[in-house]
Chain A
Amino acid sequence: MPFLLLLAWQLLASGGAIDERLFSSPAHTAHALWMLTTNGTLASNVLVSLRRSAIGLLLGVSTAVALATVSGLWRLGEELVDSTIQMVRTVPVFALTSVFVVWFGLGELSKELLIAMACFFPVYLNVHGGIRNVDRRLVEMAVAMGKGRRQIIRHVVLPGAMPQTLVGLRYSLSISVLALVVAETLNTTSGLGYLMANAQQYLDTDVIFACVVVYCLMGITADLVVRVLEWRTLAWRTGVGNR
């Protein structure tokens, strides 16, 4: 089906039914991709973009996991952290874009922080929920076995929160691509967003579409990474990977 759509698009474009200046065509997009790849501009700019999202993602996910663990496990943590985050959560992250520029300048920092902030919430909410929803009967069993707090957290609570954590991670990975797109509309001199903004000035739809394709590929890769992670860590659910 997707191939049929591509074919139809190509036929319409080359038949002149749609304006190639506005919509490009699969062939032209592919050509632009090829050109950008061979002259090295794509690789260098994609690397810059990947770096941004990787740093932002790492920052956002690690703080989310840390804070969610604190607020999920300790009552005091819940009161201090969770209530605050529940309040901040209602602010749409991308509305803060300009504030971030004012606070952190036009450099990399504001972009990375924007991505981090966008990735933070799905992970935080899911890890917190995962910890809270751990089967209390299992915890009770561990208590009856005379297990200490650390053992219970390590063997019961955290593994129990794992499936939900991965759900959060999956969300935030796809959001990181979205946040990257938004962040790169800020004044940039490198990266995929820069390529796109540049192409926009010259009305070069071929390059714009090529960039969209690359963003898509990044999203797909991100999803794939989580799937592999799920497959590896949640083997107990499907029963695969018996020793």
Chain B
Amino acid sequence: MTSSTTLRQESVRETRAPVEVRGLHRAYGARQVIRGLDLRVQAGEFLCLLGPSGCGKTTLLRTLAGLDAADAGEVDVPTQVAIVFQEPRLLPWKRVDFNVRFGVAGTRGARAQALAALEEVGLADHADAWPGTLSGGQAQRVALARALVREPHLLLLDEPFAALDALTRIRMQALVRELVDRHRPATVLVTHDVEEAILLGDRVLVMAEGRIVRDSDTTGITRDAADAVALDVLRRDLLRELGVGG
């Protein structure tokens, strides 16, 4: 299982451009938010970004998504990028099916694609519903489907589970992991949950004061169920890094 995944990753790595950020600077007015940030994400890699509130995680993601320009530095991202925000941001006046189709270039003739994506997030039977009739978790799954139909090479997730209840959250985590394993985009997930960051991704980054201050590989811990000690150590380390506890 592990080896086949690695093999696929290798072949993908050659065809897709990885994310490459060098010396990024971003400021809001006089306030420097990102100061000389460097970041590399390999194709198919799942990266989790932790950091105290207000340290610039959303700002970084917006820059990667092309919503804001960099003040200084280089940002290389694939052409196909998809972003899922903390809120679903569905068009309430369009049915679910159209909302998903809105992710692809031409909205015409994309219904089959949209239905397939909805099927993947388990909402095929809601294709004709209004977004207003969905629960929070369902709406966020539609947003995920809308990101998936874009067949992104880079998937950006900005605290997509933050507004969900604990149970829905666990289901969503599993779903995201499954979808990312299947489609293998480079993924950057912003989260406040240390546990989530360790278990969901391949790498955990900690951001503080506009820079990456820590970069830990977690594949060993995630894949090796036995390594409970390493998990514990890393968890405590990360929490300290974030200014919580010991």
Q: Which residues on A are within 8 Å of B, measured CB to CB?
A: 137-138, 140-147, 155-156, 159-160, 162, 235-237, 239, 242-243
Contacts and interface: CB of A to CB of B under 8 A. Distances in A.
B150 A145 contact: yes
A242 B129 contact: yes
Nearest to A156: B91
Interface residues of B, number: 25
The 3 A-B residue pairs with the shortest CB-CB distance, nearest first, are A141-B89, A159-B93, A243-B128
A42 B91 CA distance: 48
A137 B85 contact: yes
B73 interface: no
A160 B102 contact: no
A110 B85 CA distance: 54
B92 to A, nearest CB: 6
A163 to B, nearest CB: 9
Contact of B133 (A140, A141, A239): A239
B66 interface: yes
B229 interface: no
Given A236-B92, A239-B130, A242-B129, 7 more contacts: A141-B89, A145-B146, A146-B105, A160-B93, A236-B131, A239-B132, A239-B133
A243 B83 CA distance: 29
B19 to A, nearest CB: 16
A236 B93 contact: yes
B126 to A, nearest CB: 10
B133 A145 contact: no
B65 interface: yes
B67 interface: yes
A141 B85 contact: yes
Nearest to B98: A155
B94 A144 contact: no
Interface of B: 65-67, 81-83, 85, 87, 89, 91-95, 102-103, 105, 128-133, 146, 150
A155 B87 CA distance: 19
Given A144-B67, A236-B130, A137 B92 contact: no
Given A144-B66, A145-B102, A138 B89 contact: yes
Given A159-B91, A160-B93, A236 B132 contact: yes
A146 B80 CA distance: 10
Interface centre among B85, B89, B105 (most CB of A within 10 A): B89
Contacts of B133: 239, 242
Nearest to A151: B107
Contacts of B130: 235-236, 239, 242
B132 A142 contact: no
25 contacts: A137-B85, A138-B89, A138-B91, A140-B67, A140-B89, A141-B89, A143-B67, A144-B65, A144-B66, A144-B67, A144-B82, A145-B103, A145-B146, A146-B105, A155-B94, A156-B91, A162-B93, A235-B130, A236-B92, A236-B95, A236-B130, A237-B92, A237-B132, A242-B129, A242-B133
A160 to B, nearest CB: 7
Contact of A137 (B87, B102, B128): B87
B139 to A, nearest CB: 13
A239 to B, nearest CB: 5
A104 B26 CA distance: 60
A130 to B, nearest CB: 12
A142 B102 contact: yes
Nearest to A146: B105
A137 B150 contact: no
Contacts of B91: 138, 155-156, 159
Contacts of A162: 93
Contacts of B89: 137-138, 140-141
Interface centre among B67, B85, B93, B146 (most CB of A within 10 A): B93
A237 B83 CA distance: 26
Contacts of B66: 144
Contacts of A137: 85, 87, 89
A155 B102 contact: yes
